[in-house]
């Protein structure tokens, strides 16, 4: 019998009669490996696009684009956790209720997501109309009407793509996670190519028009990719949404209650990790976002690759937990802890090479505060370690203590950061505050995970 463990070393044991082509085909069918591979391509495309964008937009306007893109992450998190619930509930529903029930669930998800996206767009439009975003973000080099127009256009595209991008959760829920990362890689590579074409075609237009052009390219192409992969999912699964089964109201309420928890986690994570750009912009100006964002992007590549490789585990954990497979869960915990040793040394090497990589990558002088690279490297290790165990808690829906840790961290993040700024630590302050608060994450999240599995073993 072939071991179905999701880890690379055990999925397909070495057998000498396999040809090289057979081994290659087996490797490409491994969703964890291919998810990491596609995320690597996506990350490389992102990194290549950044120097082009900096030279095309200039440091100050590239800083604005970073702020706009950060807003994109916030919009995606405001779906009431409905899309995250897909990854937890569908593996269980397929086993307990059947395909028609799952169809009804997916249909409900699309409807609710569309209503939420519309509400978010209206809310953001009203907020930006009454709140002077230009002043709040310290954008002194563009007029108020342009800033409003730029952010409104991007929020519009982001809301549409939040619905069109539901396919990413569906692929993971059906244990086809590599296609989620494949779609993201296609989107990022396509954006890179279209950005280069825009730079070549419109090199001398006004910088306001450049920002609007980049926004439209990003929004429209992302929509096209999302629609294409949505169609591909339903064809691949030979599924449509035609069904006479209706979800009971009690069940819908249960899913929404789980969704609220996921939304709390998503918003908390977004605020915790992305508010840094806005704090820096508010205190030091948009130009100072560039050195911080540059270092973050360097360390984002291993984070993106590893998170993508871990993503399929979400639904696998849900399935194993529902089946009471505590041995498999503990085995995967032990394997990750061993792999983390290699990840640790990888990040150490990246810390040492980071200044050299930046000099080759950006090819422009960027003043990076001392110790920023070291702090970001430590935070990266903490994020990766905590992420694995948080995927387990997310997958089984055991979220209360996890949410409590995140809420406390978010509440303390801004005042702690401003205190460190007042002590003269500059933009290092945002990373140091993150580091201090994440100490609790790497202790309590794994502890909660192990306690949960040991309870499962006790009750087996």
In this structure, of 64-73, 165-174, 329-338, 447-456, the range with the lowest mean pLDDT score is 64-73
What pLDDT was estimated at residue 62?
82
**Is 47 or 233 the better-scoring residue by pLDDT?**
233
What pLDDT was estimated at residue 306?
80
Give the alpha-carbon dihedral of 393, 399, 405, 411, to 10 degrees.
130
Per DSSP, the three-state class of 274 is helix
Average confidence (pLDDT) over 7-28: 50
How far is residue 303's CA from residue 384's CA, in Å, rounded to a whole number?
7
Average confidence (pLDDT) over 27-39: 67
Q: 10: exposed, middle or buried (C-beta count within 10 Å: 0-12, 13-18, 19+)?
A: middle
Neighbours of 210 (CB within 10 A): 21
What pLDDT was estimated at residue 77?
55
What pLDDT was estimated at residue 363?
65
Report for 19-23, 129-133, 259-263: range of highest mean pLDDT: 129-133
What pLDDT was estimated at residue 7?
40
Per DSSP, the three-state class of 427 is coil
How far is residue 262's CA from residue 268's CA, in Å, rounded to a whole number?
10
Q: Are 295 and 376 in contact (CB under 8 A)?
A: yes
How far is residue 313's CA from residue 309's CA, in Å, rounded to a whole number?
8
Q: Where are the domains of the chain?
A: 30-459
Give the alpha-carbon dihedral of 92, 400, 326, 10, to 10 degrees.
80
Largest CA distance in the chain: 69
How far is residue 14's CA from residue 23's CA, in Å, rounded to a whole number?
9
Average confidence (pLDDT) over 270-292: 78
What pLDDT was estimated at residue 270?
76
Average confidence (pLDDT) over 90-115: 80
Residues of the chain with pLDDT > 90: what percent? 22
Using the predicted structure, report yes or no on whether residue 265 has a pLDDT greater than 60. Answer: yes
pLDDT confidence band for 199 (50 / 70 / 90): very high
Average confidence (pLDDT) over 141-170: 86
Q: Are 179 and 311 in contact (CB under 8 A)?
A: no
Give pTM, 2 decimals: 0.66
How far is residue 196's CA from residue 190's CA, in Å, rounded to a whole number?
10
pLDDT confidence band for 28 (50 / 70 / 90): low
In this structure, of 8-12, 159-163, 187-191, 234-238, the range with the lowest mean pLDDT score is 8-12
- Counting every residue written for the chain, the total comes to 460
How far is residue 308's CA from residue 170's CA, in Å, rounded to a whole number?
15
Q: Output the average pLDDT for the chain.
A: 81
What pLDDT was estimated at residue 348?
93
**Is 315 or 32 the better-scoring residue by pLDDT?**
315
Both structure tokens of 329: 């869960």
Using the predicted structure, report yes or no on whether residue 252 has a pLDDT greater than 90. Answer: no
pLDDT digits (tens, 9 = 90+) for 69-102: 776 666 655 555 666 677 777 777 777 677 888 8
Average confidence (pLDDT) over 251-256: 66
What pLDDT was estimated at residue 75?
60
pLDDT confidence band for 243 (50 / 70 / 90): confident
pLDDT digits (tens, 9 = 90+) for 291-339: 888 888 888 878 877 877 777 777 778 778 878 888 888 888 999 999 9
Phi and psi at 116, nearest 5°, equal: -65, -40
């Amino acid at each position: 019998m072939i071991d179905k463990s999701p880890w690379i070393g055990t999925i397909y044991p070495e057998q000498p009669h396999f040809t090289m082509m057979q081994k290659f085909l087996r490797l490409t069918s491994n969703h964890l490996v291919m998810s990491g591979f596609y995320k690597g391509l996506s990350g490389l495309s992102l990194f290549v696009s950044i120097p082009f964008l900096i030279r095309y937009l200039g440091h100050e306007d590239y800083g604005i684009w970073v702020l706009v893109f950060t807003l994109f992450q916030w919009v995606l998190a405001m779906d009431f956790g409905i899309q995250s619930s897909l990854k937890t509930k569908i593996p269980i529903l397929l086993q307990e209720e059947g395909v028609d029930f799952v169809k009804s669930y997916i249909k409900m998800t699309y409807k609710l997501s569309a209503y939420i996206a519309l509400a978010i767009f209206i809310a953001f439009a009203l907020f930006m109309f009454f709140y002077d975003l230009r002043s709040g973000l310290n954008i002194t080099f563009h007029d108020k009407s342009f800033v409003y127009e730029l952010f409104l256009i991007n929020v519009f595209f982001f809301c549409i793509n939040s619905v069109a991008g539901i396919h990413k959760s569906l692929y993971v829920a059906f244990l086809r996670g590599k296609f989620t990362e494949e779609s993201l890689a296609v989107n990022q590579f396509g954006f890179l190519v279209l950005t280069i074409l825009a730079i070549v075609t419109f090199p001398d237009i006004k910088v306001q028009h450049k920002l609007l052009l980049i926004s439209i390219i990003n929004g429209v192409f992302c929509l096209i990719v999302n629609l294409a992969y949505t169609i591909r999912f339903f064809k691949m699964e030979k599924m449509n949404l035609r069904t006479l089964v209706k979800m009971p109201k009690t069940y819908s309420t249960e899913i929404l209650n789980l969704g609220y928890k996921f939304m709390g986690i998503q918003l908390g994570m977004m605020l915790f990790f992305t508010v840094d750009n806005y704090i820096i912009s508010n205190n030091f100006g948009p130009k100072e976002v560039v050195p911080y964002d540059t270092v973050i992007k360097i360390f984002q590549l291993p984070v993106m690759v590893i998170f993508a490789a871990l993503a399929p585990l979400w639904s696998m954990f849900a399935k194993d937990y529902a089946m009471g497979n505590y041995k498999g869960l503990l085995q995967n915990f032990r394997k990750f802890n061993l792999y983390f040793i290699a990840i640790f040394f990888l990040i150490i090497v990246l810390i040492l090479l980071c200044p050299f990589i930046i000099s080759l990558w950006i090819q422009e002088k960027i003043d990076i505060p001392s110790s920023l690279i070291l702090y970001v490297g430590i935070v990266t290790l903490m994020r990766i370690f905590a992420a694995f165990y948080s995927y387990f808690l997310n997958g089984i829906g055991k979220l209360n203590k996890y949410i409590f840790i995140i809420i406390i961290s978010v509440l303390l993040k801004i005042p702690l950061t401003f205190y460190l700024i007042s002590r003269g630590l500059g933009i290092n302050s945002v990373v140091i505050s993150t580091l201090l608060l994440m100490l609790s994450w790497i202790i309590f999240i794994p502890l909660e995970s192990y306690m949960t599995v040991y309870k499962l073993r006790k009750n087996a």
